[in-house]
A and B are shown apart, each in its own frame.
Chain A
Amino acid sequence: MSIRTSTSRKVFLAVNAALLTLVSLICIAPFINLLAVSFSDKTAVAAGEVTFLPVGFTTVSYEFITNSSKFLDSLIVSLKRTVIGVPLNLLLIVLTAYPLSKSRKDFRARPYFSWFFVITILFNAGLIPTYMVVKSTGLINSIWSLLLPGALPVFSMLVVMNYMRSLPKELLEASYIDGANHLQTLLRIVLPVSAPTIATVTLFAFVDHWNSWFDGMIYMNRIENYPLQTYLQTVVVNPEEFIRNNTDLSGNLSKYLSLVSARTTGAAQMFLAMIPILCLYPFLQKYFTTGLVMGSVKE
């Protein structure tokens, strides 16, 4: 496309670039501000002096947090949850998507199973019934309450199933003719070629587990068992509480009382909670995009 750029076009391009820059800044500025606040002196923060650079640079908020058992406890719960939860999600997604990707000829019960799973997307039982089922299976206050009820993410499973269905038939038939059974075919043939989709749903599962907070709040009976986001929610709702709970009279934390505020420690905690997402961000951007496009605009 070779169009000679007219003056009006040039003006448009300049304005457009400026506009997009502004929009991008609006998206990113709050996080830069958060980072700046977490490294700033509390009086500067309270006076509203901190914008995008720390004022009175200090790491005292981070020191305070790393001395707080509550933050560390919840971080460990979240790590545990992610480390067990993501592979569990993947296992069930693959084990379910593969049979459902078969034609009706190869797996007669397929349509019934498909509906069995799809109905769970269409109809939600609601808060109290779900709680009572989790309770009656004995999972309350156990990390499994965060893992088992959502162990099969149905949407992700459908994405993988659709992908597997689009694989060339010849590929699988060749494998069966070689005498491979279903499991061997799945492991040796289907999984390797499905790698991009698997990567996508892995990231879905990771972001889901890392960002969930409501289940932790409802199912966990002890604050020590809260996952990170649930714990952060309590900090957001009641910022002052964190400071008070961590500065008991005898503890050495009381010396921080005059140095940190709910704003600075809150910012530091939120920033720390963002780090895993930021680390995976390049992958998230790449595979989420392919996954989203694949899942939504399939032909």
Chain B
Amino acid sequence: MIQTKMKAGKALPHVLIGLVTILSLSACESGSNSNASDPGSDNSTNVSATSSDMPADPLGKYVKPITMSWAVQTAAASKLLDGETYDNNRWSQLISDKLGINLKVAFSADSSTDAYNNKLNAVIASGDLPDVFKTQDANVFLQLAQNGQLADLTEVFDKYATDDLKAYKERFADAFAGATINGKLYAIPRMNDNFHEAPFLWIRDDWLKNTNSQPPKTIDELVALAEKFATGDPDGNGINGDTYGLALNKDLIRPGHGTILGLAAAFGVPGYDESMFYRDQDGKMTFSWIQPGMKDALAVLADMYKKGLINKEFTAKNESALVEDITSGKIGMAFGSNWGTWYPYNNVYKKDGVIVRPYPIPTQEGIDYKVGIESNAVGQMTMVSKDFDHPEAAIKILNLYDQTVNHSTKEDYEKYWANEQYRLSPVYIDEPGEVYAADIQKALQAGSPDSLPPGAKPVYDYIVGFKDGSLKNDDNAFGDWGQMSEEGSLPIVLNKYMPDNAVVQSVLGIQRPEVWLTNESSLDTLTITAFTDIITGAKPVDYFDTYVKQWLKAGGQQTLDELDKLYPAK
């Protein structure tokens, strides 16, 4: 190093050469100093990562602890208990004790609004990624992978993953394929089935009872029930008409509570979110929201809105704001996702002791209903920065997670998984219980958890506990019961939507046409604005035809053509 500087310095004045020499000397000195004072970090790399002939220990502890920075998604779900902090909590302690990995929070932001996404994008712009971080946004993942900013996890996964994890990889092959680009695994995908993402109709028990009603089976019955709720006195407070019929939130077609997904489904429109593409019966590539059935669905909604059966100001309420109305008891019926008893209806249960229950979506006579779900290839991706020296650490944490949550004692399960505590682990397997929904159905019928895999047993106990009243006031028990018991949401998919052949899966994986990436946000806005205008009566129902034309023209048609090539029919 000094030599090259000296050579380069030949043409320079003597003073400068001297200066350069001094500078480079001191640089070398400080460099060697830091090496000498910190031998462990290099050694542990050698032992656990670089020496390929030694068998890798999936749960081996680093001799010299390493540090891993990660991005924390804060939200309703990531509650901190017992005075813990994001820096110091049950998971950070466990990971430090068992693996010698010290977690450091790179940044934290609210993932229930745009805040997390925005913060991540700002951090990406600066080029300084956290060691481990998550995104739901397929575009962000694709961009990072293509720009070479992500660590290739192919090898470390093969070498460090436990056999259990490797089994997951087989079971969720589609998800792993989605996280793989040009043969390289660039992320740990969400390991879960997508079937549970279908929409349901959630109704308050007490409102049905107070109005002497049955859950609606058809759209006409739904409208009739909404009318009773909106104009009558379902909450029994003596005032007619201070309640809503059907609740919507302003995002309309984004999964969550207060969507129109269930109503669209009744008219044969398998909507999931703003980017739901699929092949129709004739094998033609198409887009959910331009289906002719959507016009009829919007007509029903516009009519309901006009009659005052829909909360007037839904255009100003995001899901979160809607939750306040749900909790305060103004809302008794809304389409929503499967996790309703976890959130937001747990608030109603806690406050009033009232159960809000999922029902299959009502249908329209003469139309085959269709429910839309995401492609298995997309979903939350957990990525490792290319600049992180220990990509295997992410796999080790995943091993530890699997062992702690899915193969361990009930105490551990409650400590590390329950109350959404699993989110404090930088890498986790998404909601393990849901994976076992079908198994749990069988076990509940048999009345014994013996046949269940270890990860599903605690769920069984919670459900049984809720039913026999011993866990009546436990949030986890209520959540699991409303999701996975016979009366829960997931069996509706297993026992009705699937046998009816109603489930349609989006083809849109990680690979996306350029034209879609550029126009996605303006097309999203176009769709939501058009639907909102039609529902609120700002535009006539026939405006739907204009919307379809606009959508096709503004890049939609081109997207369909490109997708047709990108995802050829099987």
Co-complex (A, B): yes
Q: How far is the CB of B299 from chain A (nearest CB, A)?
A: 32
Distance in angstroms from B63 CB to nearest chain A CB is: 30
Judged by a CB distance under 8 angstroms, whether A193 is at the interface is no
* Minimal Cβ-Cβ distance residue in A for B351: A258
Chain A positions within 8 Å of B75 at CB level: 241
- Nearest CB in chain A: distance from B541 CB, A: 32
Is A135 part of the contact surface with B, judged by Cβ < 8 Å? yes
Whether A222 contacts B107 by the Cβ 8 Å rule is yes
- Whether the Cβ atoms of B113 and A234 lie closer than 8 Å is yes
User: Which residues 254-282 of A have a CB within 8 angstroms of B?
Assistant: 257-258, 261-262
Q: Binary interface profile of B, 67-105, with partner A (CB < 8 Å = 1, else 0)?
A: 000000011100111100000000000000000000001
Could you say which interface size class chain A belongs to?
20 to 34
Of the listed stretches B122-130, B374-382, B494-502, B561-569, name the one at the interface; the rest are far from the partner chain.
B122-130
Interchain CB contact under 8 A, B110 and A234:
yes
Which of B122, B125, B351 has most A Cβ within 10 Å?
B122
Residues of A within 8 A of B108 (CB): 221-223
A139 to chain B, nearest CB (A): 11
Taking CB as reference atom, which chain B residue is nearest A224? B108
Contact B81 A223 (CB under 8 A): no
For residue A128, CB closer than 8 A to chain B, the reply is yes
Q: Assess whether B125 is in contact with A240, with CB atoms less than 8 Å apart.
A: no
Residue A218 at the chain B interface, CB threshold 8 Å: yes
Chain A residues closer than 8 Å to B109, beta-carbon distance:
221, 223
> Across the interface, do A221 and B112 meet the contact criterion of CB distance under 8 Å?
no
Residues A248 and B324 in contact, CB atoms below 8 Å apart? no
**Which A residues are CB-close (under 8 A) to B113?**
234, 237-238, 241
Contact A241 B76 (CB under 8 A): yes
Q: Is the CB of B419 within 8 A of A140?
A: no
- By the criterion CB–CB under 8 Å, are B125 and A131 in contact? yes
Closest residue on chain A to residue B78 by CB atoms: A245
Which residues of A116-144 are within 8 A (CB) of B?
A: 128, 131-132, 135-136, 140-141
Which A residues between 46 and 94 are near B, CB-CB below 8 angstroms?
46
Q: How far is the CA of A218 from the CA of B118 in the complex (A)?
A: 8
Q: Are A135 and B126 in contact, CB atoms less than 8 angstroms apart? A: yes
Q: How far is the CB of B119 from chain A (nearest CB, A)?
A: 7
Residues from chain B with a CB closer than 8 A to the CB of A223 are: 74, 108-110
For B349-362 the 0/1 string (1 means CB < 8 A from A) is: 01100000000000
Compute how far the CA of A135 lies from the CA of B127 in the bound complex, rounded to whole angstroms: 9
Q: Which B residue sits closest to A248, measured CB to CB?
A: B79
Tell me, in angstroms, the Cα distance from A221 to B318 when the chains sit together.
25
From B128, B320, B351, A240 is in contact (CB under 8 Å) with B320
B419 & A240 in contact (Cβ 8 Å cutoff): no
Distance to closest chain B CB from A245 (angstroms): 7
B81 x A248 contact (CB < 8 A): yes
In the bound complex, CA of A239 to CA of B320 (Å): 8
Binary A-proximity of B318-339 (CB < 8 A = 1, otherwise 0)? 1011011000100000000000
A250 at the interface (CB under 8 A from B): yes
A257 touches B126 (CB 8 A): no
Q: Say yes or no: B110 contacts A238, CB within 8 Å.
A: yes
| B152 → A minimal CB distance (Å) | 26
**B475 close to A (CB within 8 Å):** yes
B76 near A239: Cβ-Cβ < 8 Å: no
1/0 per residue A211-247: CB within 8 Å of B? 0000001100111000000000010011111001100
Q: Is the CB of A234 within 8 A of B115?
A: yes
> Does A249 touch B at the CB level, under 8 Å?
yes
- How far is the CB of A240 from the nearest CB of chain B, in Å? 5
Q: Please state if B76 and A244 are interface contacts (CB–CB under 8 Å).
A: yes
Given A131-B122, A223-B74, A261-B324, A238:B112 Cβ within 8 A: yes
**Interchain CB contact under 8 A, B419 and A249:** yes
Instruction: A46 to B330: give the CA distance in the assembly, Å.
Output: 10
Q: For the complex, is B106 an interface residue (Cβ under 8 Å from A)?
A: yes
When distances are taken between beta carbons in the complex, the residues of chain B under 8 Å from A136 are: 126
When distances are taken between beta carbons in the complex, the residues of chain B under 8 Å from A218 are 122
From B81, B110, B323, B324, give the contact of A249 (CB < 8 A). B81
In A135-175, which residues have CB < 8 Å from any B CB? 135-136, 140-141
Complex contacts, A221 vs chain B, CB 8 Å: 106-109, 119, 123
Set of chain A residues within 8 Å of B320, measured between Cβ atoms = 238-241
Cβ contact within 8 Å between A250 and B81? yes
For the complex, what is the distance from the CA of A234 to the CA of B328, rounded to whole Å? 22
Q: Is the CB of B110 within 8 A of A241?
A: yes
- Cβ contact within 8 Å between A131 and B126: yes
Please tell me if the beta carbons of B115 and A222 are within 8 angstroms of each other in the complex: no
Would you call A128 and B107 a contact (CB within 8 A)?
A: no
A222-B107, A223-B110 are known contacts. Are A132 and B126 too (CB-CB below 8 A)? yes
A247 to chain B: closest residue by CB: B79
A248:B80 contact, CB within 8 angstroms: yes
B72 → A minimal CB distance (Å): 9
Question: Are A141 and B107 in touch, CB under 8 angstroms?
Answer: yes
Interfacial chain B residues near A131, Cβ < 8 Å: 122, 125-126
Measured between alpha carbons, how far is A209 from B419 in the docked complex, in Å?
Answer: 39
Question: What separation, in Å, do the CA atoms of A244 and B350 have in the docked complex?
Answer: 13
Q: Bound state CA distance, A84 and B81, in angstroms?
A: 34
Q: Which residues of A contact B79 (CB under 8 A)?
A: 245, 248-249
Binary per-residue interface labels of chain B (272-289) against chain A in the complex, 1 for a CB within 8 Å, 0 otherwise = 000000000000000000
Question: Min CB distance, A133 to chain B, in Å?
Answer: 10
Given the known inter-chain contacts A141-B107, A218-B122, A223-B109, please indicate yes or no for A46 contacting B321, CB distance below 8 A: no
Bound-state Cα–Cα, A257 to B351, Å: 9
Give bound CA distance, A245 to B323, whole Å.
Answer: 14
Q: Once the chains are docked, how many angstroms separate the CA of A258 from the CA of B320?
A: 17
Q: Please provide the chain B residues from 441 to 484 with a CB less than 8 Å away from any CB of chain A in the complex.
A: 475
20 A-B pairs in the complex with CB atoms less than 8 angstroms apart: A135-B126, A135-B128, A140-B128, A221-B123, A222-B105, A222-B108, A223-B108, A234-B110, A238-B113, A239-B321, A240-B321, A240-B323, A240-B324, A241-B112, A241-B320, A249-B81, A250-B82, A257-B350, A261-B324, A262-B324
Closest 8 CB pairs of A and B: A221-B107, A135-B126, A240-B320, A248-B79, A244-B76, A238-B113, A238-B320, A250-B81
Interface residues of B (CB under 8 A from A): 74-76, 79-82, 105-110, 112-113, 115, 118-119, 122-123, 125-126, 128, 318, 320-321, 323-324, 328, 350-351, 419, 475
Task: Give 6 A-B pairs besides A132-B125, A240-B324 with Cβ atoms closer than 8 angstroms.
Answer: A135-B128, A141-B107, A221-B108, A223-B74, A239-B320, A241-B113
